[in-house]
Amino acid sequence: MQLGFSSPQALRTPLLLPFRLGRGIIIARMDGGNGRQAKAGEDAPVKSTARRQVGLLKRLSGFAGRIALLGLHHLAKRVPLPLLYRVGEWLGRLAYRLSRRYRTVAERNLQMAYGDQWTRQQRQQMVRQVFIHFAKSLMEFLVGDGLSSDDLRRMVRLVGEEHLQWCLQQGKGTLVITAHYGNWEIAARYLTQCKGYVLNVVARDADDTATTVLVNRIREQGGYRVIPRGQAARAVLQALKRNELVALLPDQNAGDLFVPFFGRLAGTVAGPALLALRSGAPLLPVFCTRQPDNTYLFEILPPLVVQPSGSKERDVTETMTRLNAIIEQQIRKHPSQWLWLHNRWKTRPPEEVYAPSTAD
């Protein structure tokens, strides 16, 4: 397979799993279940009660989160942006203190990614900065429907737009690839409100339905369409046929294939590569990085076009390996702006999970 500027032929056959390739890269089907069988008998009532309790806690948590989000949304629309940044910084510091779970996940991720390059104190300091960055980004998102085009132009400096224009000239749509990094929501709003591009964003619904409605309403008021992740394939292909932009964020844990990320195999989605092979659309990496003055540098990098080699498996693996490398390179430049709070290496390769014991 080659990654270049020529147009690939669409492939219509499904990706066959499982299989593995060399060089430590593994692809495997991950079953939806957890491999356990439920016990019958007296354990059933206990499990049923536990499930009800967990369900109640989730509903209460979702309700509390929704109330907090609505309150912050109300505040964001009535407070000047400079003051909102102070609120965001305060919320980030508070969340860092209160959220032991996500602190632990982030510190473990940093340990896995950087090893002994950083001391524990440096990791803790970085995690605190991550909390602050995303709290400020949340405030920017919540005030987003109050931002005018002039506000966005003052906030964002765009470079590399010629790469996007080239992609659209090919007439096959564009798969915009970014990450949970910087402020991808501001980038989407800028492309639609300031530049007039037609943009679709594939996003996961929140666990709470009312929160999903609020978040998607804010997004769609920014001019871009939200495609729910669970039913995205057909809608994405239709948008690409209309020569539109489709944004994907393939930097979170998945079980489609395992390719390197920060020197470790990471469970990664195959979707961007499969969609590129199927549609012929180029893959366009973009990143929107916060600057010290809370403006943004929006960088559009040169596109990748997947040219089929005859082996879909190899094409998918090499494409996602390349995308992971591009995302990792950007994160290393500004590590405080990536979502280390997410358990990126949660899913492990099957042969690693079920490796035989080496004990005597």
- The yes-or-no verdict on residue 216 having pLDDT over 90 is no
Distance from C-alpha of 258 to C-alpha of 134, rounded to nearest angstrom: 27
Helix (H) or strand (E) holding 159: strand 156-159
Instruction: Return left, alpha or beta for 150; rule: phi > 0 is left, psi -120 to 50 is alpha, else beta.
Output: alpha
Distance from C-alpha of 178 to C-alpha of 181, rounded to nearest angstrom: 8
pLDDT at residue 205, rounded to an integer: 78
Distance from C-alpha of 70 to C-alpha of 85, rounded to nearest angstrom: 18
Of the given ranges (78-82, 172-176, 235-239), which has the lowest mean pLDDT? 78-82
What is the DSSP annotation of 233-294? HHHHHHHHHTT-EEEE---S--SSEEEEETTEEEEE--HHHHHHHHH-PPEEEEEEEEPTTS
pLDDT at residue 66, rounded to an integer: 62
> If pLDDT is split at 50, 70 and 90, which confidence band does 29 have?
very low
pLDDT at residue 10, rounded to an integer: 37
- The yes-or-no verdict on residue 55 having pLDDT over 60 is no
Residue 183 half-sphere exposure, CB side, CA atoms within 13 Å?
A: 27
Calculate the average pLDDT of the chain. 83
Q: What domains can be seen in the chain, in order of their start residue?
A: 65-353 (3.40.1130)
Neighbours of 287 (CB within 10 A): 26
pLDDT at residue 48, rounded to an integer: 65
pLDDT at residue 16, rounded to an integer: 34
pLDDT at residue 199, rounded to an integer: 97
Using one digit for the tens of pLDDT, what is the confidence trace for 105-150? Answer: 999 999 999 999 999 999 999 999 999 999 999 989 888 778 889 9
Q: What is the mean pLDDT of residues 310-326?
A: 97
